Structure 1
Amino acid sequence: MAEPTTLARPYAKAAFEYASEKGDLDSWQAQLQLAATVSAEPRVRTLLDDPALTAAEQGEQFGCLLGDSIGEQLGNFLALLAANRRLVLLPHILRQFDALKAERERVIEVQVVSAFDLPADVSERIAAALGERLHREVMVSSATDASLLGGVLIRAGDMVIDGSVRGRLNKLADALTN
């Protein structure tokens, strides 16, 4: 069986291209967010995984759960997903849609993890430096992890910059054992 991310890719790309063509990216993103949240609920997931229900029945019941909160175009998209028994992919489709939208808008979300709370000016300097390096607008979210001991761990997409004391100690230990 193919990975969910691989299965979701063509649907996310098609939804993104359609929404982009219609100039409706924000609305589609919000509606997809709602549909993905609903589809991830355990009771809904049970419904979507039920082989006793036909694809049409699953689509109809899922549509009833969403009610009038989605537009006609997204309703058609969800009907297509239901017909192909792909409603369970909605969280993956949303992630890829979000990534395509961020790429279009030249925005990247960066997570900065530090041992202690970072002052606002330090977060701003990190955002500015990363923005210059990545040629994008950087949206920073901060978290703390006392196990880092000091320094920061920065995650931007698939790029990781480990400037933590723990990371440096691990590198030193590896160098000494090799």
Structure 2
Amino acid sequence: MTDNLSLVSGVAKRYASALFELAEEQKAVEATEADIANLEKLLSDSEDLMRLVRSPAFSAEQQIGAMGAVLDKAEIGGLTANFVKLVASNRRLFALPDMLRGFHELAAARRGEVTAEVVSAAALDEANVDALKAALKKAMGKDVKINATVDPSLIGGLIVKVGSRMIDTSLRTRLNSLKIAMKEVG
């Protein structure tokens, strides 16, 4: 499984890098990033579309045709549409979500930003998000974009991931640590 994961991430990185270089050459990084965000939303909103992307049962021609129709309907064209069709023709559509994520990472790095994945027990209000951004900017020395999600099972606190760093201040983790410590004592 790990070999498969590294294979996908390697393929995704190469494709994302190639797309990013083309977008830079054509001075279309922002437009491409906007199209990619729209495509990511389509993928996250449709299980059928994800099935098309992930399934090896569909031929390259079927994937190209279906993705072309979806892209046309969503008014995603130009570089992004050509990229998706190329990926489908090369039978690499299964790695498309990772490629899109890789493009965002490259664009953010070029702008001097880092992305923090934040999981909280309840939705963060604007003041909390701003305070978290300020604290992370001070710690990282870069602008921080926050992708916030909610997981009520955390009970309270946050889990913050920036790159390979993770800070887990969730109540769930603290309770589990206490449970383990108590088992060791008695």
Instruction: State the TM-score, normalizing by the size of structure 2.
Output: 0.71
Alignment coverage as a number of residue pairs: 177
Where structure 2 has 5 or more consecutive residues not aligned to the other structure, the ranges are none
Structure 2 counterpart SS, 1:34: helix
1:85-121 CA deviation, whole Å, 9 max, x = no partner?
A: 1223221111111111111112233344455666655
SS at structure 1 position matched to 2:145? strand
Alignment equivalent of 1:61, drawn from 61, 66, 69: 66
- How much is the aligned-residue C-alpha RMSD, in angstroms? 3.3
CA 1:7–1:161: 2 relative to 1, 3 Å:
same
Compared CA separation, residues 96 and 174, structure 1 to 2 (3 A): same
Describe the shift of the 1:124–1:6 C-alpha distance in structure 2 as closer, same or farther (beyond 3 A).
Answer: same
**Stretch of structure 1 that moved more, 163-172 or 58-67:** 163-172
The match for 1:20 is 24
Cα distance in structure 1, aligned partners of 2:61 and 2:170: 52
Normalising by structure 1, what TM-score?
Answer: 0.74
Instruction: Report how far residue 140 of structure 1 moved.
Output: 3.8
* Alignment counterpart, residue 124 of structure 1, candidates 130, 152, 161: 130
Gaps of 5+ in 1: none
SS at match of 1:2: helix
State the Cα distance separating 1:159 from its structure 2 match. Answer: 1.8
- Alignment match, 1:133: 139
Query: How do 1:1-80 and structure 2 match up within 5 A?
Result: 2-3=4-5, 4-38=8-42, 41-47=46-52, 49=55, 51=57, 53=59, 55-67=60-72, 69-80=75-86
CA–CA distance in structure 2, aligned partners of residues 92 and 8 of structure 1: 6
SS of the equivalent of 1:28 reads: helix
Counterpart-to-counterpart distance in 1, 2:175 and 2:66: 54
Please identify the structure whose Cα radius of gyration is greater.
1
Give the whole-Å Cα distance in 1 for the aligned partners of 2:69 and 2:148.
Answer: 38
User: Do the aligned residues in 1 keep the contact of 2:52 with 2:58 (CA within 8 Å)?
Assistant: no
